[in-house]
Amino acid sequence: MAACWRAWAAGDEDAAETAYAAFLPGALFGMQSLEHLAAYGKRVFGLRAGIAIHDRAPALRPGEAGLRLAARWAGA
């Protein structure tokens, strides 16, 4: 998102749109709901930070497809 803003502020609309297009799918994945953000957003953070993530009941349990997407957006 920062790359998008920097490009826009510099007047480079093409670069801003490219950066936005790269950012948007990950943002939409994480922000589907607060439960979804808690379940998968913390996994993206954990993968990037190299820390284990643990759930507490009654948390939304992540599914295999969501875990694959979280790993993708984490760059893992």
**What is the residue extent of each domain of the chain?**
25-76
Q: Indicate the pLDDT class of residue 7, thresholds 50, 70 and 90.
A: very high
The predicted pLDDT at position 57 comes to: 82
Q: How far is Cα of residue 58 from the mean position of the Cα atoms in its chain?
A: 22
The residue written with tokens 């609309």 in the block is: 13
Q: What is residue 49's three-state secondary structure?
A: helix
**pTM for this one?**
0.64
C-alpha to C-alpha distance for 3 and 47, rounded to whole angstroms: 22
Q: Residues near 43 by Cβ (< 8 Å), separated by ≥ 6?
A: 53, 62, 67, 70, 71, 74
Residue-wise pLDDT tens digits, 40-70: 888 999 999 999 998 888 888 889 998 998 8
Task: Give the DSSP H or E segment for 20.
Answer: helix 13-30
